[in-house]
A = this chain, B = another copy of it.
């Protein structure tokens, strides 16, 4: 065997680009989910921002995108640099284990020593260089045989995120901030979240995982042997002539399970998980109130505008998101959320932004699935 490669040379990004983002209806739809939209006013979509944030670490030829068949056209159009051998199209949504571990298995087949880093396509990170430094540390730790996550230093006792309880500092060259992970914790209640933040020992779980692909496969083999076997079968066929037929036979039967449950939590119990604390500003832009916050940089009384609407606003604040060219006039509405699309209009307030999900459920129940 040849000399082992440097960890950074082994690195390959995986971007699972799925999830509709129900709380961002009617902008985000099954046909045009969150990651295909510019939600920051950057002039780029969240997927493009994610690509630009990671390619300086991995190189553009080492980023794999896993997405639904329906989004193939949009993804290829938005990411011109995407090598088509790095585009994995799902037949149907099967949750994060199938998406990420199929990518891991395909990449491990091509490069057995590959270290993959999985990052959601629809998060917002403000200080890219701080983020990239954290990823580089994580790669060094992953090369020691760990599953590494990047945990976000909490800025408030949020109940919208899961938490990571950190353990002892690790001693890894090139990763001065690495710590062991004691355990992953589900979204807490507010009182508990406050204690977590005060203690200084907890980080937000942003769902970022960096690990040798083979280690992820080995862990899945222990927790979900059937799913492991199916994903290996798919990966074996992937770069050959039977991909389509094997895909149509195997994919529909895959178990839907989040990678948090199939790999991250059991591995943490086994002492296999490490964390790099992320000292950058991170948002999962889960609802329109979050986008408004992001746009206003925390200042109140502003009206954020996303899109090409002509806007006339008087004594109004909040956020206006437009997918049309219509004139939108606002008078005397505070903390308002207006989302204007060709076939649906939402009017609510920042306070009620989370309730958009219930509304989407109601639309499903009342036979308006065509609008989702």
Contact = CB atoms under 8 A, between A and B. Distances in A.
A118 B228 CA distance: 84
Interface stretch (A98-106, A233-241, A278-286, A351-359): A351-359
Contacts of A342: 326
A172 to B, nearest CB: 48
A355 to B, nearest CB: 5
A1 interface: no
B358 A345 contact: no
A331 interface: yes
Interface stretch (A78-86, A185-193, A333-341): A333-341
Interface centre among A326, A338, A340, A345 (most CB of B within 10 A): A345
Contact of A359 (B331, B338, B343, B347): B331
A346 interface: yes
Given A312-B362, A314-B358, A368-B310, A348 B327 contact: no
Interface of A: 26, 310, 312, 314-315, 326-333, 336, 338, 340, 342-349, 351-352, 355-356, 358-359, 362-363, 366, 368, 371
A327 B343 contact: yes
Contact of A312 (B333, B343, B349, B363): B363
Contacts of A344: 326-329
A327 B351 CA distance: 22
Contacts of A315: 352
B349 A333 contact: yes
A299 B306 CA distance: 37
B328 A345 contact: yes
Nearest to A350: B332
A363 B314 CA distance: 12
A345 B332 contact: no
A50 B39 CA distance: 49
A160 B151 CA distance: 61
Given A26-B329, A314-B362, 17 more contacts: A26-B327, A310-B368, A312-B366, A314-B358, A315-B352, A326-B343, A326-B344, A327-B343, A327-B345, A328-B345, A328-B347, A331-B346, A331-B348, A331-B352, A331-B359, A333-B349, A336-B347
Contacts of A351: 332
A121 to B, nearest CB: 26
A184 B340 CA distance: 47
Nearest to A322: B345
A340 B347 CA distance: 11
Contacts of A333: 336, 347-349
Nearest to A348: B331
A312 B371 CA distance: 12
Interface centre among A312, A363, A368 (most CB of B within 10 A): A312
B330 A348 contact: yes
Contacts of A326: 342-345
A329 B352 contact: no
A364 to B, nearest CB: 12
A8 to B, nearest CB: 47
